[in-house]
Structure 1
């Protein structure tokens, strides 16, 4: 069996995955989280060099973990491999994040790497079905948010939404779940609503599995929500014990449904 590499973005998830076994940490310049602690520092403009570094280190498995963002590409820094891939990647970017991630997976697989999902390395972090913390709230608001996400999923809009009293208070877009929760807190404080977080239909969980952590709980509480519903088997709980402790401290319920 070959070596494993974690292409690490921001947040605690890369470190939690590294604890699952030996892995090289790859950090991309310009991404959240910086480059501290990296075994390999890479640039998007030099994918050819990254592939060579990984293959030279005997890497056969790659896992993408942590928050990342699109960054500007410096044309003068492109190596030959990236220059050849750029039209393909540019086309995928114009089709949304899901299309871009699918293309990135295909490119890495084309180089001989097996893509492993965070849920495969740490199945203990995957939300189990049922009550996780507190008592699940009545179905109405969760069902409303769930239905909106199901309708918007094919449009590659987002993984999370908030509903209260049958009304939609927020829908996650490019800015992310945290920004949506802050918006809800400003515009509908004390609503007692429910945050729902689910994978988009057809989403490749190997590279973009939804995540909630203690910070999500704190932001949901600060926004005046009463509960969080996640999709069982399709959402990672970063540090489940801390998530449950945060829910208990803030009086939020957390549960998972199919």
Structure 2
């Protein structure tokens, strides 16, 4: 049976990837990050190995030993943890020494190149998960009114500029004012900060960076995103269609309907 590698971070995306790979007849060989990956994933895959963030050569050795020629990265890594808890091995040091910037895309492409130089090709997780990508159009909740449509358009524009700088993917807007931009704190804290500053009715926009390598760090949203929005009274979640992963879409849409939160996919 053919094997595929999974470099797993946090959240539900590693579970979705593993499930779909199994339905395609693939054995899934997982390398999981301590403090990030849910241990429950081990019960759903053929092989499971723990690593600490930065142990690149251990990942390479694990895949080589298992005969893995292709692997995907799925799930997030907390940026604060990446700054404070990384334990770089010799492979990580070699990668770092070759790059001029520690921006996400630069670093991730360098890591992918390192794996490929050792016989492991990094593929996009969405090659196996196209059915969980956000569709275009109104998806749940009340219809947008004119002011909200304008806030969505502003958020999309600003998120594009934010992504171009390789800083973050999420923008919070209300009544034509940008309330919060995502940086190292992540999406949830960005939403909370925006809600505190702008009050109820905020619009949350999430999109890819322009020219983003689809193998890495695709935006994702799920029921947890709506829980945070409900905390601060945010009213709209606008997601880039075709490039945002929906985690547990049925539950996401059900929660949006019950909470009166609008979810839309925008191109």
Going from structure 1 to structure 2, the CA distance change for 1:131 and 1:4 (only over 3 Å counts) comes to same
Query: Alignment partner of 1:196: what SS?
Result: strand
- Distance in 2 separating the partners of 1:48 and 1:27: 14
Q: Which residue number corresponds to residue 33 of structure 1?
A: 37
Counterpart contact for 2:168–2:181, Cα < 8 Å: yes
- Distance in 2 separating the partners of 1:18 and 1:233: 21
Gaps of 5+ in 1: none
| Residue in structure 2 matching 1:24, options 16, 21, 29 | 29
Q: CA deviation at 1:110?
A: 2.0
Residues 2-50 of structure 1 show CA distances to partners (whole Å, capped at 9, x for unaligned) of 4111111111111111111131221123x42366637112244542232
Query: Alignment partner of 1:59: what SS?
Result: coil
Counterpart contact for 1:137–1:227, Cα < 8 Å: no
Q: Which residue number corresponds to residue 102 of structure 1?
A: 109
- Distance in 2 separating the partners of 1:68 and 1:226: 27
Q: Which residue number corresponds to residue 15 of structure 1?
A: 15
Residues 113-152 of structure 1 show CA distances to partners (whole Å, capped at 9, x for unaligned) of 2222222111111001111113234321111111111223
Going from structure 1 to structure 2, the CA distance change for 1:184 and 1:125 (only over 3 Å counts) comes to same
Q: Which residue number corresponds to residue 219 of structure 2?
A: 210
Range with bigger deviation, 13-22 or 132-141: 132-141
Going from structure 1 to structure 2, the CA distance change for 1:180 and 1:233 (only over 3 Å counts) comes to same
- Distance in 2 separating the partners of 1:113 and 1:185: 43
Q: CA deviation at 1:66?
A: 1.1
Counterpart contact for 2:160–2:207, Cα < 8 Å: no
Q: Which residue number corresponds to residue 117 of structure 1?
A: 124
Mapping for residues 82-231 of structure 1, pairs under 5 Å: 82-88=92-98, 91-93=100-102, 96-134=103-141, 135-138=143-146, 139-190=149-200, 192-231=201-240
Q: CA deviation at 1:73?
A: 4.4
Counterpart contact for 1:64–1:117, Cα < 8 Å: yes
Q: Considering only aligned residues, what root-mean-square deviation do their CA atoms show, in Å? A: 2.1
Gaps of 5+ in 2: none
Q: CA deviation at 1:200?
A: 0.7
Tell me if 1:4 matches 2:13.
no
Query: Alignment partner of 2:98: what SS?
Result: helix
**TM-score, normalised relative to structure 1:** 0.88
Range with bigger deviation, 40-49 or 197-206: 40-49
- Distance in 1 separating the partners of 2:231 and 2:206: 17
Going from structure 1 to structure 2, the CA distance change for 1:137 and 1:123 (only over 3 Å counts) comes to farther
Mapping for residues 38-57 of structure 1, pairs under 5 Å: 39-57=48-66
Residues 194-221 of structure 1 show CA distances to partners (whole Å, capped at 9, x for unaligned) of 1111001111121111000101012122
Residues 131-180 of structure 1 show CA distances to partners (whole Å, capped at 9, x for unaligned) of 11132343211111111112232211211101111111111111111011
Query: Alignment partner of 1:39: what SS?
Result: strand
